[in-house]
Amino acid sequence: MKPRKTKDLYSTLMKKGFSSNPEKDHHKCLVLVVDGKKQNINTYFSHGTPEYGAALMSKIKSQLKFDDTKLAEDFFDCPMSKEEYIAMLRKKGAV
């Protein structure tokens, strides 16, 4: 996966149904919320990392339950909507 700026990743996730989990304080933890309920899909952001390289992006891809790199890229580049992402997760039985 291509490198991305941390602030852009964070912004995209917040727009697509994730919210900050204040119970976790070592790193910023974002958890997916669907229909007002927290799901078991989350990812962590380091406080001082300005950009995530390919290795970290691969970890985020896995944490967000993407099997296909192209789908993950579509999610972060915004062709994939929040609704499409949730539908994909429901099809997999992840939510």
Token pair of 53 as six digits: 């390289």
Tens digit of each residue's pLDDT (9 = 90 or more) over 25-62: 667 899 999 999 999 999 988 878 899 999 999 999 99
35-61 in b/e burial notation, b at 16+ Cβ within 10 A? eeeebebbbebeeeeeebeeebbeebb
The domain locations on the chain are: 4-92
pLDDT at 24: 58
Token pair of 52 as six digits: 């995530």
The fraction of the chain above a pLDDT of 70, given in percent, is 96
Q: Which residue has the higher pLDDT, 94 or 24?
A: 94
Whether the Cβ atoms of residue 21 and residue 43 lie closer than 8 Å to each other: no
pLDDT at 22: 74
Token pair of 15 as six digits: 């727009």
**pLDDT at residue 10 above 80?**
yes
